Structure 1
Amino acid sequence: MMRDQWRARLMLLEERLQGGKGAGSGLYLIGTKPGLVDVHAYMNVWFMQQNVPDFLEQCFETADLTRAWFERLSEFEGQEPETISSTDALRIAKHAAPRLVAATTRSESQGFAPGEMVAVCPDDYGKVWVEGELVHADSQRVILQRITEEADTLHVHFPRAGYLVRRI
Structure 2
Amino acid sequence: MARTALIVIDMLNTYEHEDADALAPSVRKALPGIRLLLERARSDEAPVIYVNDNFGQWRSHHGEILRAALSGRHADLVEPVAPDEEALFVVKARHSAFFETPLGYLLEQLDVGRVVLCGQVTEQCVLYSALDAHIRHLDVVVAADAVAHIDADLAEAAVRMMERNMGAEILPGHDIAFDTPHDRT
Bigger relative contact order (CA 8 A; separation at least 6):
2
CA radius of gyration, larger in: 1
Name the structure where helix makes up a greater proportion of residues: 2
TM-score by length of 1: 0.25
State TM-score, norm by structure 2: 0.23
